[in-house]
Amino acid sequence: MSPTHLAGKHVLILNWRDVGHSQAGGAEQYMHEISRRWIEAGAEVTWFTGREANQAAEDVIDGIRILRAGGPLAIYAHAALKLVRTGSLYDAVVDCQNGIPFFSPLFMPGRTPIIQLIHHVHQEQFSSRFSPPLAALGRFLESRGAKAVYGQRAIVAVSPSTRLELRRLGFSGPIHVVPNGTIDVPAEVGPRAPEPTITVVSRLVPHKRLDLLLGQIAVAASRIPNLRLEIVGDGPERGRLQQLAMDLGLSHVVTFHGYQPNEVRNRLLNRAWLTTSTSASEGWGCSVIEAAAWGVPCLALRVPGIRDSVVDGSTGWLVDTAKEFGSAMVAALEALAAHEASQEFSAQCQEWARCFTWERSSALLAGVVLEETQSLEATGGRSSRSDMSTLVRFELPPGTDLRAILRPTDEVWEGDGQASVLMKGRDEFEAFAVLKQIGVDSAELQPAGRSVLLAGPASAASPAHAVDGL
């Protein structure tokens, strides 16, 4: 579905930060990149968001109108007042949840399409940031409170892991997977550093668990001569991590670069042999895919979000426990020391990264908005749908308009008279019934696994598009 279907529509984005905020991260970039492309396609986009002391109350960034008010918690009250006063001006709402929902259905006209956008579930993180009473309140608002207010409205999750966590919390409405885009994939990469080099791009915050990585680096450094660890990023954990590196005798191994502009980050990634993730949980591995764009595989713990962004054995390796990490790091670096193996992993990483573009993400989210709009217009309510998806390959009948029969959230790839369609929310029997409607009697059908769901039908359309392990 093209974002042009939103042309002439006015879409409201609710987010606690915008990209101009000093603490903006991947969640803000996600919605900003999509908003920018919706505007290019003819939509009007307004954000209601929080305001730092140095930020203007109103702003325009890349054509996006930004209205700011309130701090990390006060933003929710300010947004509620704005919705009550001006909610009727908007054709659709994307309600971005960062642990605490905006509860926009309470303040918007009843037939306004409202899409919840959720990067990851915060149930376990509340206790690490708040006192027990506030943590309990946060868990209630994100789960039972949100279910009561949003009902069966559509949800967008950035990964199958996040969708699974939401199902475990009891959300029963449609949950669509719309992954992040990433940086442009360079045509050429390398040369790699002569010494074994691990580059990690990360915010230095507790749940990223860089302390765990440093402990395992100490193990690997005793077995890998001249090992280097380059850490790019900043945050409240930096001082503690630097002290830990000194205590572990790693001062000659680890370099803390702090925050760096994209050009410096890219140069460091381009020299790396490997990147790692020891995070406790993520919605998606943005830094993992950015490294993959530079042909750098990732060694990671098998945790939500990260297990989606690493194709085990093809774009990196997943390990189940922290105690395995050091030995797995040694094995990965020894494998990558062979030029042919390094080249093979690099090619597979780049092919995987090419599946994730902001153009595709913006089209997928636009499809969710349109499908929710059509559902409200047709029935006045919302229908449930399966989490199953089916990949269908067939010869395209001449003159067939697939969009006339497919859902707005289905994905289509066409080439050389062949079509590959990722039918969302349909099992193989339902997908075959759709094919019969368009006159297709012979097709290849298979359940879409996690990687195909993330990468789309083009990833499996032909060997030229395929990544091993999909």
Mean pLDDT of 373-384: 70
- CA distance linking residue 112 with residue 257, whole number of Å: 47
User: Given this model, what pLDDT does residue 468 score?
Assistant: 45
Per-residue exposure over 363-385, b if at least 16 CB sit within 10 Å of its own CB, e if not: bbbbbbbbbbbebbeeeeebeeb
Q: Structural domain tally of the chain?
A: 3
By DSSP bridging, strand 92-97 and strand 114-118 are parallel
User: Given this model, what pLDDT does residue 190 score?
Assistant: 86
User: Given this model, what pLDDT does residue 225 score?
Assistant: 93
Direct distance between the N- and C-terminal alpha carbons of the chain, in angstroms, rounded to an integer: 23
Per-residue exposure over 192-222, b if at least 16 CB sit within 10 Å of its own CB, e if not: bbeebbbbbbbbbbeebbbebbbbbbbbbbe
- Closest residue by Cα to residue 426 from 458, 453, 465, 402: 453
Is residue 258 in a domain? yes
The percent of residues above 70 in pLDDT, for the chain, comes to 96
pLDDT at 392 over 90: yes
- Taking only Cα atoms into account, the Rg of the chain, rounded to an integer number of angstroms, comes to 23
pLDDT at 87 over 70: yes
Helix (DSSP H) and strand (DSSP E) numbers for the chain:
16, 18
Are 291 and 407 in the same domain? no
- Closest residue by Cα to residue 289 from 117, 451, 125, 95: 451
Cis peptide before 191 (omega within 30 of 0): yes
User: Given this model, what pLDDT does residue 466 score?
Assistant: 46
| Average pLDDT for the chain | 91
Reported confidence tier of residue 396, pLDDT bands at 50, 70, 90 = confident
Is residue 46 in a domain? yes
CATH at 449: 3.30.70
From 145, 177, 209, the end of a domain falls on 177
Reported confidence tier of residue 469, pLDDT bands at 50, 70, 90 = very low
Per-residue exposure over 267-303, b if at least 16 CB sit within 10 Å of its own CB, e if not: ebbbbbbbbbbbbbbbbbbbbbbbbbbbbbbbbbbeb
User: Given this model, what pLDDT does residue 460 score?
Assistant: 65
- Closest residue by Cα to residue 158 from 118, 122, 125: 118
From 330, 353, 376, the end of a domain falls on 353
Are 36 and 162 in the same domain? yes
Is residue 315 in a domain? yes
Reported confidence tier of residue 80, pLDDT bands at 50, 70, 90 = very high
- CA distance linking residue 171 with residue 157, whole number of Å: 12
pLDDT at 248 over 80: yes
- CA distance linking residue 142 with residue 137, whole number of Å: 9
- For 93, the enclosing helix (H) or strand (E) is strand 92-97
Is residue 467 in a domain? no
Are 164 and 211 in the same domain? no
Are 349 and 395 in the same domain? no
Are 147 and 32 in the same domain? yes
pLDDT at 35 over 50: yes
Between 131 and 235, the more confident residue is 235
Are 160 and 305 in the same domain? no
User: Given this model, what pLDDT does residue 380 score?
Assistant: 54
Are 285 and 425 in the same domain? no
CATH at 207: 3.40.50.2000
Is residue 363 in a domain? no
Are 155 and 252 in the same domain? no
Mean pLDDT is lowest, of 235-239, 345-349, 417-421, for 417-421
Are 212 and 173 in the same domain? no
Reported confidence tier of residue 272, pLDDT bands at 50, 70, 90 = very high
Is residue 448 in a domain? yes
Reported confidence tier of residue 320, pLDDT bands at 50, 70, 90 = very high
Is residue 192 in a domain? no
From 353, 374, 403, the end of a domain falls on 353
User: Given this model, what pLDDT does residue 403 score?
Assistant: 77
58 three-class SS:
strand
Reported confidence tier of residue 264, pLDDT bands at 50, 70, 90 = very high
- CA distance linking residue 372 with residue 378, whole number of Å: 10
Reported confidence tier of residue 379, pLDDT bands at 50, 70, 90 = low
- CA distance linking residue 292 with residue 59, whole number of Å: 34
What's at 42, amino acid-wise? G
Reported confidence tier of residue 300, pLDDT bands at 50, 70, 90 = very high
Mean pLDDT of 118-129: 80
User: Given this model, what pLDDT does residue 398 score?
Assistant: 77
- CA distance linking residue 189 with residue 348, whole number of Å: 13
pLDDT in tens, 192-232: 999 999 999 998 988 899 999 999 999 899 999 999 999 99
Tokens of 137: 């309140």
Reported confidence tier of residue 257, pLDDT bands at 50, 70, 90 = very high
- CA distance linking residue 175 with residue 385, whole number of Å: 8
pLDDT at 103 over 60: yes
Are 61 and 143 in the same domain? yes
Are 107 and 164 in the same domain? yes
Which burial class, exposed, middle or buried, applies to 154 when counting CB atoms under 10 A from its CB (0-12, 13-18, 19+)? buried
The percent of residues above 90 in pLDDT, for the chain, comes to 73
- Closest residue by Cα to residue 245 from 217, 269, 273: 217
Is residue 86 in a domain? yes
Other residues' Cβ atoms within 10 Å of the Cβ of residue 12: 27
pLDDT at 461 over 60: no
Mean pLDDT of 7-15: 96
Are 137 and 173 in the same domain? yes
pLDDT at 326 over 60: yes
Reported confidence tier of residue 327, pLDDT bands at 50, 70, 90 = very high
pLDDT at 110 over 80: yes
pLDDT at 325 over 70: yes
Domain that includes residue 440, residue range: 386-460
